Amino acid sequence: MTIDALTDDVIADITRTMWAAIVDDSHDLEDATSSGEGDLTASVKIAGTWNGTFFITLSAAAARQAAARMFACDGAGLSDADIRDAAGEIINIIGGNLKALLPPPVTLSLPHVAHGGAHALEGADVLSDMHFAWLDEPIIVAVRRGRREP
Amino acid sequence: MKALVVDDSRTMRSILARILGDLGIDVEQAVDGKAALERLIAGDLPDIALVDWHMPNMTGIELLNEIRHRPELSRVRVLMVTSESEPDQIGIALDAGANEYLIKPFTPDAIAGKLEMIGLGEGSTATTTW
């Protein structure tokens, strides 16, 4: 099935809107040409009329700063589990809102969080790779079409 | 007023607890539907449960069904707070007995507005006797 709704522009727009709403409404996600591999990747899988995975990959500093803003703290006391949880919630919300663009029925998985730039799914079709910078830290939002586990 | 926040994400529980706390609401938390149901059955009922949809062990919809099918729990208001944003999903939750539905992300004003709609806002005459 062709999903015309999942264009780079739409993915970027929803990502920016969700980021501003849940992480930081005072510093926009800026376009970047390349963001490196990243240190932490959170993903949610979509299954149904369309099968694929939405990913967000963050640098360690971006992941900690984002979590700090979501927990409303300075970040020093956050555990690795807190940071992973926050990254998972970010992709859960971005993925949930992207899912609404897909023809029903489609289901959203629980978030999966892994260290490294795990968005490079072997055997999956690359639908989108969006590179951003936030507070000079790299963030990648990727969409892959396929059934492979992240 | 007392609220039970049910979400497997500690981040989201923290955000909701902060917002509800700022509204002067006492907040308890549960990590999934199963833990929430056990707490409710134990007897200390909240005025409202804010319930995520996708959680391990017991989903928000499964918890909602349990609440609405148990007479001793049925007075608990339920606000679904979830990233599920399709109209069909909203309909499923409302049909199952959710009082209101809020799509993530949300603002503090949106939470306050939903509480008002449910009859639990500031100045509301709706109260719960413990």
- Please state the three-class secondary structure of chain B as a single string: CEEEEECCCHHHHHHHHHHHHHCCCEEEEECCHHHHHHHHHCCCCCCEEEECCCCCCCCHHHHHHHHHHCCCCCCCEEEEEECCCCHHHHHHHHHCCCCEEEECCCCHHHHHHHHHHHCCCCCCCCCCCC
Cis peptide bond N-terminal to B105, omega within 30: yes
How far is the alpha carbon of B14 from chain A, nearest alpha carbon, in Å?
6
Q: Residues B64-99: pLDDT tens digits?
A: 999 999 999 999 999 999 999 899 999 999 999 999
Tell me the three state secondary structure of residue A9: helix
**Out of A85, A97, A105, closest to residue B11 by CB:** A85
Mean pLDDT of the region B47-69: 97
Confidence of residue B130 (pLDDT cuts 50, 70, 90): very low
**Out of A86, A100, A110, closest to residue B11 by CB:** A86
Q: How many residues does chain B have?
A: 130
A18 interface with B at CB cutoff 8 Å: yes
CB contact under 8 A, B86 and A104: yes
Q: What angle do helix axes A80-99 and B10-22 make, rounded to 10 degrees? A: 90
User: What does each of the 150 residues of chain A score in pLDDT, given as a tens digit?
Assistant: 446 788 999 999 999 999 999 999 999 999 998 767 789 999 999 999 999 999 999 999 999 999 999 999 999 999 999 999 999 999 999 999 999 999 999 999 999 999 987 665 556 788 889 999 999 999 999 999 885 444
Is the pLDDT at B26 greater than 70? The verdict is yes
How far is the alpha carbon of A68 from chain B, nearest alpha carbon, in Å?
10
* Residues facing residue B51 across a β-bridge: B6, B80
Residue A16's nearest CA partner among A108, A130, A100 is A130
**Do the beta carbons of residue A148 and residue A124 sit within 8 Å?**
yes
Q: How many residues does chain A have?
A: 150
**Out of B56, B84, B106, closest to residue A96 by CB:** B84
Mean pLDDT of the region B114-130: 67
Which residues of B are less than 8 Å from A89 in CB distance?
9, 11-12
What are B105's two structure tokens? 């992300």
Is the pLDDT at B128 greater than 60? The verdict is no
Cis peptide bond N-terminal to A105, omega within 30: yes
Judge residue B111's burial from the number of C-beta atoms within 10 Å of its C-beta, 0-12 exposed, 13-18 middle, 19 or more buried: buried
Q: Which of A92, A99, A101, A106 is the best substitution to test chain B (most B C-beta atoms within 10 A)?
A: A92
Confidence of residue B124 (pLDDT cuts 50, 70, 90): low
Q: Report d(CA A91, CA A96) in Å as an integer.
A: 8
B109 interface with A at CB cutoff 8 Å: no
Which amino acid makes up residue A51?
Answer: N
- Predicted pLDDT of residue B125: 42
**In whole numbers, what is the pLDDT of chain B averaged over residues?**
93
Confidence of residue B127 (pLDDT cuts 50, 70, 90): very low
Which amino acid makes up residue B119?
Answer: G
**Do the beta carbons of residue B16 and residue B50 sit within 8 Å?**
yes
How far is the alpha carbon of A14 from chain B, nearest alpha carbon, in Å?
11
Q: Residues B98-110: pLDDT tens digits?
A: 999 999 999 999 9
**Do the beta carbons of residue A112 and residue A104 sit within 8 Å?**
no
